[in-house]
Chain A
């Protein structure tokens, strides 16, 4: 296969690549302040939106689901209660799919505010740039081109028609190549009004289409315009996001705290207003819970999250002690399909504090849902307490902590760590096959070597990293006076190394500009730049290792390795 960048998840084909991926360096943090999505109301089988001015007959045995905060051009969304199935004839796997219907509003040029950048002063007189992003899609087909990820698709039919006096473009789309869940049919009618185009988009499995087409067309035909009685056409607060670029490095902890609290309150308030009928809003400690499953499960999850945050506070009190960690929004969906449709996406995903899960059939203790929550909480906690430290964390520590926290479960006010079979069995296999990484090597391993080995050993280093951090957190190393504080010492030393490198960078940055004047100088600079990242990573790993383990003798390492092996075997 041939690719233009990065590894590709095409698992059934050879693709052609053009170049490797280059990770972007983000200097500024982006905080998103979504505006509350306008919610259409459902009543007696009718979905009605008085702000946009439309109504239609809601499909029976379909559930209305809440809209994503960051996709406010969607104005109504339904998910079939009944799943449909497709069995792939090539591999015999059966996939489940729940049909979806979405109404998307495209405000026409006539009323659409253009995207603008404006410079403004905040209350303290600091400059801040505010970008207002309009609904980024020109029309329905543009929206499809830029958002659809269910497989290769093409418009198989397109007609102009009228529904009473309303002009309608009727699209039929087939999804045939490299499909997720199986070949699908998309039916979309776009109702044209002078101010807004409403696209009513339905996606069903091709094999289920004959059974569903009556429902689809009955609903499409029931669409009607009604008088707008709400607060007017939502041009300014629909399809727009307000993105503020804050330079956290220049802010004091107090300023950052204030800013985060404002954002947190704004996100919480807007999440509450976007909750549709049938969802429950709970405040459990600091956590806002939007719940569409049983309350007992939701409360248990939220309480668990509080315990995880407490554990992190207690385990690493020296990490950004004056920083404020925003309280996440936990959105607990009734099933996986609902969860998939509500996962945050796009530019602001990492900055969102919303965690979306669904009630896991495998239960609270053994299910994946809680493991995912734990990992997200860990990332959020470290990045808000100390962003530099979080970014500098070597892969063994990042992945190792993720593995260990992933298996944490609250029991009362305490945390219990479960055994991870994937990790334990993987380490044993690596040892058996002679592929295990010596601990000193693992701790000094750069990202390239980490992933290189992971590719050829089915994620071997990730399992080993989990095993090592677990050994420090809950294993014999947590009780031995020589090793019980090693993880904390390592983090402190990592932080001090980061600060030293930062200071060195700042000093170097003050040198006069050395832009190359000749091609030779340019090549030399290119070579130095190409090596800089690797050198910096090596410097970070080696210096932190040296600071943490400088008093260790070879004998100490041998003893440590022996105890570790005993613990994992």
Chain B
């Protein structure tokens, strides 16, 4: 029921049949209610206490404007029927009373749907959906969720096929908890700050990740990565895959793409965020040693350099079958020494992982290891490149965070020229331009960010610092807090009105 109401982008026009307030639901699930909404060219204006905000029609998932009048009669037929006291509603002529009754019925249902939607955003009222291989619990809009359900089922089927894995009998369905934002995942999932998703590998098995509304591709990467841990687990439920190659392979499969029309999954794409980290290491003068990467028990670089190694090996016909055999061999081959770890799972020590890696990849001596390392390094430098605006955004973000603002500006500009639709890119670029005192250009970028994502307070907050008019500065800051009271600026101390010696 709710799904139909909120999937619709048709905007109903209502008479003042009831005194109910207007509401707007964006396509990514944010709700604005209790504010006066008026129609404007190409969208609507929402009247907040600190100013009007324009929301483009393309962003609107559902909308109800209470008391908005119908257009006046224009044609001769309309004038004739109007003279009889009749109105046309959905192709039929009827009395205003009948039409109002129909509208009220529909409006009541939609308000009830809105209430239900709000309730489902609380974890205690979460949706519970079962599919062939998963039991989902989530607080997303059903349309947004549907994409993940389809993706995960397709991914599950393809990985089992590619790796010839037969799931154990009586496996049951994996519980998947999907949160509508990062904070919810940290709070409800309990993993602590910094975690982007996790797979609980001891019973009860469980997968947790969140929907990043500003970067759905990122959410999918995390989902593919975490699901891959589950799929690795299906090779042997009693086995704990070592950090390398476990995390590196999960990252390799993290870069996958699902075509919903052709129903086709493509795996092993470029994981541009990780590539940027590797490129930063190289720019900083660090090349990873193959021996160190493979023989170290746990290291962060298994996600970055490890991904490049997996990508290199999986994309080279000489090595791909050997690398796959190495991974399967760690799980089940007789020539690999396994031990039982503290969680009562079979495990392989780092030294043994390295030894097996050399054996399965036919690395006979130090020279052969060096040769493979050189091939891999060359592949990283020459073959792995950033290809999409999103990759450039990632690189720009990283350059910005590491103090390379000249590079960051170039890459942000290229991402925007390449068709970026990420408002954060415009916002970040604006910040760098403002730092160079290019205020007009910066303000133009912030305006574009706001046009794309008008209900996020951060853009208004940062823009406020570069607006000349003091009253406008204050209004923008207040509007930011009104739109998003929990934004990153909410705890900042506003010193603008503070005089020396205050307090």
Are the C-beta atoms of A12 and B200 separated by less than 8 Å? yes
Is B148's beta carbon under 8 Å from chain A? no
Q: Which residues of A have CB within 8 Å of B198?
A: 1-2, 10, 13-16
Q: Which residues of A have CB within 8 Å of B286?
A: 530
Q: Which residues of A have CB within 8 Å of B190?
A: 151-153, 175-179
Are the C-beta atoms of B189 and A177 separated by less than 8 Å? yes
Is A3's beta carbon under 8 Å from chain B? yes
Known: A4-B193, A526-B404, A531-B285. A452 touches B296 (CB 8 A): yes
Is B225's beta carbon under 8 Å from chain A? yes
Are the C-beta atoms of A16 and B123 separated by less than 8 Å? no
B197 CB contact (under 8 Å) in A2, A149, A455: A2
- Interchain nearest-CB distance for B237 vs A (Å): 13
Chain A proximity mask over B266-310: 1 for CB below 8 Å, otherwise 0: 000000010001000001111000001001111110010000000
- A12-B189 Cα distance, complex, nearest whole Å: 13
Q: Which residues of A have CB within 8 Å of B407?
A: 519, 522-523
Are the C-beta atoms of B284 and A526 separated by less than 8 Å? yes
Nearest A residue to B344 by beta-carbon distance? A91
| Segment 164-196 of B: residues with Cβ below 8 Å from A | 177, 183, 187-196
Is A20's beta carbon under 8 Å from chain B? yes
Binds B, one of A116-124, A207-215, A293-301, A497-505: A116-124
A115 CB contact (under 8 Å) in B194, B195, B197, B493: B493
- A149-B403 Cα distance, complex, nearest whole Å: 34
- Interchain nearest-CB distance for A122 vs B (Å): 14
Are the C-beta atoms of B500 and A153 separated by less than 8 Å? no
- Interchain nearest-CB distance for A124 vs B (Å): 18
Is B498's beta carbon under 8 Å from chain A? yes
Are the C-beta atoms of A16 and B503 separated by less than 8 Å? no
Binds B, one of A74-82, A154-162, A190-198, A464-472: A154-162
- A80-B297 Cα distance, complex, nearest whole Å: 42
| Segment 244-296 of A: residues with Cβ below 8 Å from B | none
Are the C-beta atoms of A17 and B303 separated by less than 8 Å? yes
Q: Which residues of A have CB within 8 Å of B196?
A: 2-4, 15-18
Known: A15-B196, A91-B202, A155-B124. A118 touches B188 (CB 8 A): no
- A191-B124 Cα distance, complex, nearest whole Å: 23
- A91-B286 Cα distance, complex, nearest whole Å: 42
Most buried by A among B190, B300, B407, B495: B190
- A154-B139 Cα distance, complex, nearest whole Å: 13
Q: Which residues of B have CB within 8 Å of A177?
A: 177, 188-190, 206, 208
Chain B proximity mask over A491-527: 1 for CB below 8 Å, otherwise 0: 0000000000000000000000000101100110011
Are the C-beta atoms of A12 and B191 separated by less than 8 Å? no
Is B343's beta carbon under 8 Å from chain A? yes
Are the C-beta atoms of A8 and B191 separated by less than 8 Å? yes
Known: A12-B202, A177-B208. A530 touches B285 (CB 8 A): yes
Is B122's beta carbon under 8 Å from chain A? yes
Is B75's beta carbon under 8 Å from chain A? no
- A519-B454 Cα distance, complex, nearest whole Å: 33
Q: Which residues of B have CB within 8 Å of A347?
A: none
- A3-B246 Cα distance, complex, nearest whole Å: 15
Q: Which residues of B have CB within 8 Å of A529?
A: 284, 403
Most buried by B among A4, A13, A91, A179: A13
- A14-B206 Cα distance, complex, nearest whole Å: 11
Are the C-beta atoms of B498 and A8 separated by less than 8 Å? no
Q: Which residues of A have CB within 8 Å of B123?
A: 154-155
Known: A155-B124, A518-B406, A530-B284. A13 touches B191 (CB 8 A): yes
Contact-residue size bin, chain A (C-beta under 8 Å from the other chain): 35 or more
- Interchain nearest-CB distance for B136 vs A (Å): 15
Is A84's beta carbon under 8 Å from chain B? no
Is A563's beta carbon under 8 Å from chain B? no
Q: Which residues of B have CB within 8 Å of A118?
A: 500-503
- A177-B199 Cα distance, complex, nearest whole Å: 12
- Interchain nearest-CB distance for B243 vs A (Å): 9
Q: Which residues of A have CB within 8 Å of B195?
A: 1-4, 8, 10, 15-16
Q: Which residues of A have CB within 8 Å of B297?
A: 455-456
Q: Which residues of A have CB within 8 Å of B201?
A: 12-14
Is A83's beta carbon under 8 Å from chain B? no
| Segment 1-38 of A: residues with Cβ below 8 Å from B | 1-20
Chain B proximity mask over A524-556: 1 for CB below 8 Å, otherwise 0: 001101110000000000000000000000000
Are the C-beta atoms of A10 and B191 separated by less than 8 Å? yes
Known: A3-B195, A527-B283. A17 touches B300 (CB 8 A): yes
Chain A proximity mask over B376-396: 1 for CB below 8 Å, otherwise 0: 000000000000000000000
Is B348's beta carbon under 8 Å from chain A? no
- Interchain nearest-CB distance for B496 vs A (Å): 12
Q: Which residues of B have CB within 8 Å of A120?
A: 501
Nearest B residue to A156 by beta-carbon distance? B124
A456 CB contact (under 8 Å) in B202, B229, B247, B295: B295
- A175-B124 Cα distance, complex, nearest whole Å: 12
Q: Which residues of B have CB within 8 Å of A157?
A: 124
| Segment 99-156 of B: residues with Cβ below 8 Å from A | 122-124
- Interchain nearest-CB distance for B174 vs A (Å): 13
Are the C-beta atoms of A153 and B226 separated by less than 8 Å? no
- Interchain nearest-CB distance for A118 vs B (Å): 4
- A290-B64 Cα distance, complex, nearest whole Å: 64
Known: A2-B197, A118-B501, A157-B124. A531 touches B247 (CB 8 A): no
A522 CB contact (under 8 Å) in B177, B191, B404: B404
Is B476's beta carbon under 8 Å from chain A? no
- A333-B343 Cα distance, complex, nearest whole Å: 33
Is A90's beta carbon under 8 Å from chain B? yes
Are the C-beta atoms of B283 and A526 separated by less than 8 Å? yes
Known: A3-B194, A523-B283. A16 touches B188 (CB 8 A): no
- Interchain nearest-CB distance for B248 vs A (Å): 12
Are the C-beta atoms of A145 and B225 separated by less than 8 Å? no
Q: Which residues of A have CB within 8 Å of B193?
A: 4-5
Q: Which residues of A have CB within 8 Å of B404?
A: 519, 522-523, 526
Are the C-beta atoms of A16 and B222 separated by less than 8 Å? yes
Is A136's beta carbon under 8 Å from chain B? yes
- A120-B500 Cα distance, complex, nearest whole Å: 9
Are the C-beta atoms of B350 and A456 separated by less than 8 Å? yes
Q: Which residues of B have CB within 8 Å of A14?
A: 198-199, 201, 226, 229, 246-247, 250
Is A132's beta carbon under 8 Å from chain B? yes
Q: Which residues of B have CB within 8 Å of A12?
A: 200-202, 343
Q: Which residues of B have CB within 8 Å of A5?
A: 193-194
Is B366's beta carbon under 8 Å from chain A? no
- A467-B42 Cα distance, complex, nearest whole Å: 74
- A185-B285 Cα distance, complex, nearest whole Å: 51
- Interchain nearest-CB distance for A422 vs B (Å): 17
Are the C-beta atoms of B200 and A13 separated by less than 8 Å? yes
- Interchain nearest-CB distance for B147 vs A (Å): 19
Are the C-beta atoms of B284 and A531 separated by less than 8 Å? yes
Nearest B residue to A175 by beta-carbon distance? B190
Chain A proximity mask over B240-255: 1 for CB below 8 Å, otherwise 0: 0000001100100000
- Interchain nearest-CB distance for A54 vs B (Å): 28
A sample of 8 cross-chain residue pairs with beta-carbon separation below 8 angstroms, ordered by A number, consists of: A1-B198, A4-B193, A14-B198, A17-B196, A118-B501, A118-B502, A120-B501, A530-B285
Given A4-B193, A90-B204, A177-B190: 19 more A-B contacts, CB < 8 Å? A2-B222, A2-B226, A10-B198, A12-B343, A13-B200, A15-B191, A17-B196, A17-B300, A17-B303, A18-B196, A18-B273, A90-B203, A91-B202, A116-B498, A120-B501, A152-B189, A153-B188, A155-B122, A531-B285
Which B residues lie at the A interface, using CB under 8 A? 122-124, 177, 183, 187-204, 206, 208, 222, 225-226, 229, 246-247, 250, 273, 277, 283-286, 292, 295-300, 303, 343-344, 350-351, 402-407, 410, 491, 493, 495, 498, 500-503
Which A residues lie at the B interface, using CB under 8 A? 1-20, 90-91, 114-120, 130, 132, 136, 145, 149, 151-157, 175-179, 452, 455-456, 516, 518-519, 522-523, 526-527, 529-531
Q: Which 7 A-B pairs have the closest CB atoms?
A: A152-B190, A530-B284, A116-B503, A178-B190, A154-B123, A15-B198, A13-B198
